[in-house]
Amino acid sequence: MANDSYLLLYVNDPAASARFYAALLEQEPVEAHPGFALFVLPSGLALGLWRRSEVTPPAQATGEGAEPGAELGFKLADAAAVDATCAAWRARGAEIVLPPVDLDFGRSFVARDPDGHRLRVFAAGEEEKR
Cα Rg, the chain, nearest whole Å = 15
Predicted pLDDT at 71: 85
Q: pTM for this structure?
A: 0.82
pLDDT tier at 59, thresholds 50, 70, 90: confident
- What's the distance, CA 71 to chain centroid? 7
Contacts of 105 (CB under 8 A, 6+ apart): 122, 124, 125, 128
- What's the distance, CA 1 to chain centroid? 26
DSSP-based three-state secondary structure for 112: strand
Q: How far is CA 40 from CA 5, 31, 49, 87, 89, in A?
A: 10, 9, 12, 23, 19
Task: For residue 42, report the phi and psi dihedrals to the nearest 5 degrees.
Answer: -55, -30
pLDDT in tens, 92-122: 999 999 999 999 999 999 999 999 899 999 9
Q: How far is residue 37's CA from residue 49's CA, in Å, rounded to a whole number?
A: 5
**Domains (range + CATH), the chain:** 1-56 (3.30.720.120), 70-130 (3.10.180.10)
